[in-house]
Amino acid sequence: MKWIAPESSQVFSENGKLLNANGRYQKHFRDLEGLYEDGESFSRMLPEWSEKVVYQVEDHRASEQPGDLIYGTTVMMPGKVGNEFFMTRGHQHQKAECAETYFGLSGEGILLLESPDGDVEVREIRAGIMVYVPPYWIHRSVNTGNTDLVFLFNYPSDAGQDYGIIERNRGMRKRVVTDGTNGWELKDNEDSVKFS
């Protein structure tokens, strides 16, 4: 048996840089069409925002072996489309029984979670806070602050991501919008097929 070598990685809290990352991708504003409620605001922003990187992921993948772990960072830009804060696509794990942890490094945001029964939970993400995503829960992160939101994640190597589940449900049940002052509030997504 060839043993996988142990490793340590330097992580920079301010910009999410992971020095020995071997995987990375970026999401541009244009990739997120259809995600936000206010399609008109999205279209209005498109000319200026199209090519901007609104979030990026760097990760370390040792192997795809069951039992192994992927760890990495996500950096999300601050901003809003209409009243709705910038967010990730969100997903359930392909192997839905796989859990995950998020650990806040800098900035302010929330993790929006939805169970298969449609229960919605919100957990704050900020420096020093660990959030546990239990098996089966759909999860999406939202930058509710004015600076980049940076967090660390850790999940099983064979978990995968099912992005179609949110599309099939026509969005998560709740949207995260400005409360009109400096904060955020949840708003029902009336398009959600599970909305009742």
Binding site for ligand S6P (CB under 6 A): 57, 72, 74, 88-91, 100, 141, 153, 155, 161
C-alpha dihedral, 59 to 65 to 68 to 74, nearest 10°:
20
CB of 153 to ligand S6P, least distance (A): 5
Alpha helices in the chain (DSSP H): 39-49, 164-168
Sign (positive/negative) of CA torsion 15, 164, 83, 132? negative
Both tokens of 30, joined, read 């244009």
Q: Does 148 bind Zn ion (CB under 5 A)?
A: no
Cβ 137 to Zn ion shortest distance, Å: 9
Identity of the residue, 38 or 162, whose beta carbon is nearer to ligand S6P in the bound complex: 162
Give yes or no for a contact between 171 and 87, defined as CB atoms under 8 angstroms apart: no
CB nearer Zn ion, residue 101 or residue 189: 101
Residue placing its CB nearer to ligand S6P in the complex, 26 or 44: 26
Asked whether position 100 contacts Zn ion by CB under 5 A, the answer is yes
The residue type found at 67 is G
Least CB distance to Zn ion at residue 159 (A): 7
